[in-house]
Amino acid sequence: MKIRKANVHNGNELITNVYIYENKKQEFSLIAIPEIEWSTTVQYEEERGLLKSRLIDSLSQRVPVETAEELANKMIHWVGEM
């Protein structure tokens, strides 16, 4: 498991930790942000454009759209590194 520092503002709060677990055998990553009670899985073969829109849609149910976009961009970058 990796812990990444997001440091993204969510209103008056700061979202700091994003937890990423990589399951190489089943070819997916699990991403969780406990501060906003949010998580999702990302399949290795998932197309990045579709992934970005899916992440933004899901995150925007918990945070403002601007925050969701910033988080989604960071998560796509981090998952791409793994």
Predicted confidence (pLDDT) per residue in 47-80, tens digit: 999 999 999 999 999 999 999 999 999 999 999 8
Q: Per the structure, how many domains does the chain have?
A: 1
Is 79:27 a contact under the CB 8 Å cutoff?
A: no
Of 3, 5, 1, 10, which is closest to residue 69 (Cα–Cα)? Answer: 10
pTM confidence score: 0.91
Give strand pairing partners of 28. Answer: 23, 43
Boundaries of domain holding 65: 2-81
Is 29:20 a contact under the CB 8 Å cutoff?
A: yes
